[in-house]
Structure 1
Amino acid sequence: MSTLPLNTDVNVIINLSPLASPRNAFNLGLIIGDTAVISAGDRAKEFASLEEMITEGFAITDPEYLAAQLYFSQKPQPTRVLIGRQDSLETPVQAVTACRIANNEWYSCLVCGATKTEIEALAAYVESASPSTVLFATTADADVPTGTAGNILKTLKAAGYQRTLIMYSTDGDAAAAIMGYAMGANTGLINSSYTLKFKKCVGVTPEALTTAQVSAIEGDNGNIYVNRGSYYNMFEQGVMADGTFFDEILNLDKLANDIQLNVMDVLYGNSKVPQTEGGVGMIRSAIISANEQAKSIGFVAPGKWTGPNILGLSTGDTLPQGYVILSDSIDAQAPADREARKSPPIYNCIKLAGAVHSVIIQVNVNR
């Protein structure tokens, strides 16, 4: 029996939306050294354990291995590390640049045994590097705890570098330990946001510093690992060279990345985003998704807006959701912008949850 197709009456068209782009987890650290195990051609290799590094050919005395040992010793333990190769004719900046070309996923980096001059050059590089990058570095320079003019901390502080964290320690590449904690603890799970202060650096010996030395180092936005109250071995203060807290840099980088990719997925995954209030609403929804993720990890929280007035948001207003997204009206858009198919400016105003680093308690006693 002959039959006719149903398509003339019922035509089913399946539109499978494109896959969303993968998100950067911001939990992979890069350790660079000049040990000739990884070839300059391979440039960088990822390892999940110290055993894998030994299998690759690293010795337990190699600087990269020792730094990775500190990195993997932290709790929570990071799941992987990237080991990069600095060729004998390269500067550390050239090696980091080559490792970025070879692998686009790592977020933090440390160069084994970097000198003062090399740290200065690396700090300048990471400040403008793309994608967003942070540098961890260790200094044992004698002029740091004395607060001497021209030391590495004062130099980087004066430059206002926001993407370099310097740790004063006489214990090798000690900053690899706090980098390991930073990457291992960044799980993206509920309430996983953290501050670096108070954290234990497994494998690092606390520095025996005087109160004056601590004040000199921390006054120049340096970080230290010390013992307080006999029992507590702790890292402090968790700041970058300009004084910004590391956790703010990390989570703002992640939020910016999530917003960018969320909005791009909307533009890429739809036949078009109309230049209407509804279209702008689609973009705002994508931003909301990123904000909610930041809120779920504990980085964003409800609070009072103390920033400047922005459109309908005024200084002193409460943000019950921890954020508010504002945009100019489509009707108020300049004809040239509309003809260029631009969205009106969108303002994502967020309130950070912050973290408590010190407490004052008054005990009032009555007999």
Structure 2
Amino acid sequence: MSNNASITNVINVALIPEGAQASFTNMNVVAVFTSEQGVITSAERFRTYRDSAAVAADWGSASSVTEYANTFFGTKPNAVNFSGSFVVALHRATAENVAATAATLVSAQMVEATVIDTLQTITDGSFTIDVDGTPVIVTGLDFTSTIDLDGVATILDTAIAGASVAHSNGFITVTSDTTGVLSLLTAFEVHTVGTFIGEILSLSDGSGSTLTQGAAAVVLPIETKVESLTATKALINFKGSCFIDLVLDAEVPDIAAWAQANETIVYNVFSGSSYLLVDPANPVWAVRLASQSSFRCLYSKSGNRKLAVSYMARTHTVNFNAENSAITMHLKTLNVPAESYTQTEITAAKRVGLDLYVTIKDVPVVLTSHVNDFVDNVYNLIAYIDAIQIENFNLLKATGTKVPQTTKGVNQLVATNEKASRRFVRAGVFAPGTWSSPDSFGNIDTFNRNIEQFGFYVLAGLLKDQPQVDRQERKSPVVQIAVKNAGAIHSVDIIINFNL
């Protein structure tokens, strides 16, 4: 037999794996908040759906949630068509009674074949457990005829007085028969006789089991709409939302401030002539004065609040990896009835910052107001800022060695930001053009040339000018980015010269 020396005496190869990277935020995850608890509670604050049939199956065909879902999915295209999700989330508008719970002891997940193979040799299984403060001694358990974990659970269920035992997906769960603060369990402990099975079943202390004691019934108080937004946002990163229930005027300032701070677009419908007035008491005008552009104000004289869910469904339909995919909501078609407005009402709505759904030449279209910015600008910039953050993070994270604090490393940062910006140019968010802002940086000729040729300009500060304290903290020189918005044509003035 050959006894060759290992090739590693000469050649050693080390594979440096690529680091896991962060994903871009999905801008097309949107949420509808309802006070109808139905299948969701404070313990399960939301559910996600991909079609209206699944919503109806959960909520019933006559529920408001299903009506909103039908409006959402009937909007073509909608956010789900672009890898998004339709989320139904809870707004706890009434106090919620939470029932008392029972104590549980849950094993670690087990490999059935391995556990059964060991147990089948045991005829004198034993352990002790306290159930609601009462010691329960179990001995003489015979597992020789047991063929699966369901059978094990049946044996334990018979043996433990005052508790039930069940098996599911490799987990064995012991549940006290009582509820409340006196519903108590302990992990399995060794008895003086017999073969201890607590470790074999991962039900002893330190074996991976999870012990949860019972809790008393509680009444959860009413929460504000901002509290419901905050609680749900901590669980799922939705980027658009609206409420089925009426948003009161007094609630608008807090919701608008929350939306602006959390880079999440909240859509709301207003109804009534007072919302068309330039008046500090008008919450729509107050939102405009505060430049809270992440709170989108829509108007329906009939009070059709489903306008918000259809408008949201159509807005969140951009794939930023696709070419010319950016949209404007102006003149788009929604899945709600268009309404009739006088020119006076249209002008007033546009002035205060309300978007309308009207008919022009019998064609239903959205008329947008620019007063508090256009929704596509808000949506696009949230996505762009996220892309810049993620691209730069992934550069630092995925580099197997390091991004050096040198000209080479800084150039990598510049290239990364250029790549991210180029993607948004390709999508139609930004475009080459003439820079019209008085703000600029770097050499003005280089700045203008890049904006005119590419639609963006990225400049990093010089390493030689970097403060020593920043270098010691391993910071990059400041990176500055300028981008030229592509905008959108919403109206046209045409002059015709006629000669006879």
* Residues 151-203 of structure 1 deviation map (CA, whole Å, 9 limit, x = unaligned): 2211212222121101001223311111000123456421110001000112x
- Whether the 8 Å CA contact 1:119–1:137 is kept in 2: the answer is no
2:349 to 210, 217, 233: 217
Residue 115 (structure 1) shift = 2.3
Cα distance in structure 2, aligned partners of 1:72 and 1:157: 30
TM-score by length of structure 2 reads 0.69
CA distance in 1, matches of 2:396, 2:318: 32
CA–CA distance in structure 2, aligned partners of residues 86 and 237 of structure 1: 29
The answer to whether the aligner puts 1:199 opposite 2:347 as a matched pair is no
Deviation at 1:260, TM superposition (A): 0.7
Provide the residue aligned with 1:167 in structure 2: 298
- CA deviation after TM superposition for structure 1 residue 40, in Å: 1.5
Q: 2:15 is matched by which residue type in structure 1?
A: I
Q: Secondary structure at the match of 1:29?
A: strand
**Cα pair 1:226 1:233 within 8 Å, conserved:** yes
Q: How does 1:272-351 map to 2 (within 5 A)?
A: 272-307=402-437, 308-313=439-444, 317=449, 318-351=451-484
Please say if 1:126 is aligned against 2:259. yes
Q: What is aligned with 1:151?
A: 282
Aligned mate of 2:375, from 228, 243, 246: 246
Distance change in 2, residues 1:118/1:112 (3 Å): farther
Amino acid at match of 1:95: S
- The SS at the match of 1:7 is helix
**Matches of 2:235 and 2:296, distance apart in 1:** 24
Contact 2:276/2:352 (CA < 8 Å) preserved in 1? Answer: no
State the shift of 1:238 in Å. 5.7
Please say which structure displays the higher CA radius of gyration: 2
Q: In structure 1, how many angstroms separate the alpha carbons of the residues matched to 2:67 and 2:249?
A: 20
Give, in whole Å, the separation in 1 of the partners of 2:318 and 2:397: 32
The separation in 2 between residues aligned to 1:344 and 1:128, in whole angstroms, is 27
Name the residue aligned to 1:266.
395
Counterpart amino acid of 2:436? T
Aligned to 2:129: none
Residue 91 (str. 1) matches residue 228 (str. 2): no
Query: Within the alignment, does 1:364 sit opposite 2:497 as a pair?
Result: yes
Aligned to 1:26: 27
Q: Hey, what's the Cα distance between the residues in 2 that align with 1:236 and 1:280?
A: 45
Q: Answer whether contact 1:76 1:185 (CA < 8 A) is retained.
A: no
SS at match of 2:231: helix
Shift in CA distance, 306/142, structure 1 to aligned 2, threshold 3 Å:
closer
Q: Deviations over 1:205-260 (max 9, x none)?
A: 222211111111110011111112x2321112165xx6211111111111111111
Query: In the alignment, does 2:42 pair up with 1:40?
Result: yes
Residues 146/61 of structure 1: CA separation in 2 closer, same or farther (3 Å cut): farther
Q: 1:234 to 1:188 in 2, by over 3 A?
A: farther
Partner letter of residue 490 of structure 2? Answer: H
**178-187 or 145-154, which deviates more:** 145-154
Aligned-partner residue type, residue 332 of structure 1:
D
* Structure 1 pair 205–147 and aligned structure 2 pair: CA distance change class (3 A): farther
Q: AA paired with 1:77?
A: N
Distance 1:265 1:187 in 2: 18
Q: How does 1:59-74 map to 2 (within 5 A)?
A: 59-74=60-75
Which runs of 5 or more residues in structure 1 are unaligned?
none
Is the CA contact (8 Å cut-off) linking 1:145 and 1:214 kept in structure 2? no
Q: TM-score, normalised by structure 1?
A: 0.93
Q: Which moved more, 1:38-47 or 1:312-321?
A: 312-321
- Label 1:238 to 1:177 Cα distance change in 2 as closer, same or farther (>3 A): farther
Q: Could you tell which deviates more after superposition, 46-55 or 139-148? A: 139-148
Alignment partner of 1:124: what SS?
Answer: helix
Does the CA contact (< 8 Å) of 2:48 and 2:86 recur in 1? yes
TM-aligned CA distance change 1:291 to 1:316, over 3 Å = closer
TM-superposed CA distance for 1:143, in Å, is 1.0
* Residue number among 50, 53, 58 corresponding to 2:52 in the alignment: 50
Counterpart of 2:389, as a letter, is Q
Counterpart residue identity of residue 414, structure 2: R
2: CA distance, partners of 1:59 / 1:205: 24
Separation (CA, whole Å) in 2 of partners of 1:44 and 1:97? 13
Q: Does the Cα contact within 8 Å between 1:110 and 1:136 map onto a contact in 2?
A: yes
Cα separation, 1, equivalents of 2:332 and 2:429 = 18
Would you say how many aligned residue pairs link Structure 1 and Structure 2? Answer: 359
CA contact (8 A) 1:27 1:187 kept: no
CA pair 118-345 structure 1, distance change in 2 beyond 3 A: same
2:487 paired residue among 333, 354, 358: 354
Conserved 8 A contact 2:338-2:359: yes
Q: How far does the alpha carbon of each residue in 1:321-365 deviate from its partner, in whole angstroms, 9 at most, with x for none?
A: 111111111112122222222111111111111100111111122
What is the RMSD of the two structures over their aligned residues, measured on CA atoms? 1.8
